[in-house]
Amino acid sequence: MSSPYILPPAAASLPERTQTNSERAFKCATMSSYWCAGKGDVIDNWCRCDLSAFSKDGLPNCSPLRQPILHLAPYLEPSSTMVALEWTDIEPVIGYKISDYVIQHKRVEDPSEPDVYTGEVLSLMEDLFSGLGSGCVVAGRRAGEHPHSLLYSVLFKCLEPDSLYKFTLHAVDSRGSLSEASFVSVRTSCPMVDDRRAEEIADKVYNLYNGYTSGKEQQMAYNTLMEVSPPLLYRVQHHYNSHYEKFGDFVWRSEDELGPRKASLILRRVDHISHYCRSLLCSSHIQSRTDTVPYVFCRVEDRGPAGSTRHTSLYDSRLSCMEKLISVQRNTYSSTKLR
């Protein structure tokens, strides 16, 4: 019995080859259009740009860098000293690679003023995740709502109360390109005051002013009023006038007992309190509360040589993250005393 003879596969017909090539070309064109703006080819998970798709700086731009969207973190309402911000990672599955984010914050008195003072600029990777930055700013990362998505957060813990801050975020890709900036402006809440202490100081000052005031008592009253914070001083003035105005208001009694010069030194300390905070400091009742808020804190696990992170993907960086708790103090203002 002779062995079976296996026929070689029949060569594809010309129409079949043409259809296969057309499908491949269509797929490549679709991928190029979707991921590379139609100006390059998809190779693995990156775009190989055409020669015509380079910027004036000589950098490939067929995979345009998108703008990150910075916003306030929903888990923390801005307090007198803290603001939390977050944004979604903008690195696509195919295309450019995000190597870092750069966040700038500065205190601005008037948003219309020219940007002369640049504030503090921090690199998410080089300063925050590395642990080389200030303990007043911490960063975190967690999984986003969709597959492949990440959510980055930055918590500023040492801001000035009753101050307007402008935060600016840029993305940096592995080619060194900067994205368009994203901005958030926010005013921190009014300074914390201990209302019970303010009332005690108002009573103390009244007793020092009452009757014959010796030089020792005058100096004690002056020292007391100069040592307290301006917001607490303003609240002391409110309590003094609420209880003892029939004996002369706070300003008049201070000028009479301490002299115009010392009284002026005391009173000018409250000049920089905003009108909004002044109105709150005149509330009938101010109570303090402490909220406990969770946040994510991350550190890079394997840090390479300085500057090496510029050419790697931040998405693939190995971070050690943990959830921590932070205490946030707040004042509650009301016309009636809260329980």
Q: Distance between CA atoms of 137 and 135, rounded to whole angstroms?
A: 5
Residue at a domain's end among 7, 32, 64: 64
CA distance 177 to 144: 25
Residue 261: give the domain boundaries.
Answer: 195-272
| Count of domains forming the chain | 3
Do 140 and 212 have their domain in common? no
Tell me whether residue 84 is in a domain: yes
Same domain, 49 and 158: no
Cα distances (angstroms) measured from residue 85 to each of 107, 182, 275: 16, 12, 27
Say whether both 296 and 308 belong to one domain.
yes
**Residue recorded with tokens 């801001």:** 159
CA–CA distance, 98 with 131 (Å, rounded to integer)? 20
Read off the pLDDT of residues 53-69 as tens digits, 9 standing for 90 and up. Answer: 677 766 777 777 889 99
Q: How many CB atoms neighbour CB 203 within 10 A?
A: 15
Query: pLDDT for 181-238, tens place per residue?
Result: 999 999 999 999 999 999 999 999 999 888 666 788 889 999 999 999 999 999 999 9
CA atoms within 13 A on the CB side of 10: 4
Domain with 266 in it: what CATH number? 1.10.220
Q: What is the pLDDT of residues 265-311, one digit of tens each?
A: 999 999 989 999 999 999 999 999 999 999 999 999 876 555 554 55
The label of the residue with tokens 């103390």 reads: 204
DSSP 211-238: SS--HHHHHHHHHHHHHS-HHHHHHHHH
Answer whether residue 8 is part of any domain.
Answer: no
Element (H, E) at 322: strand 319-334
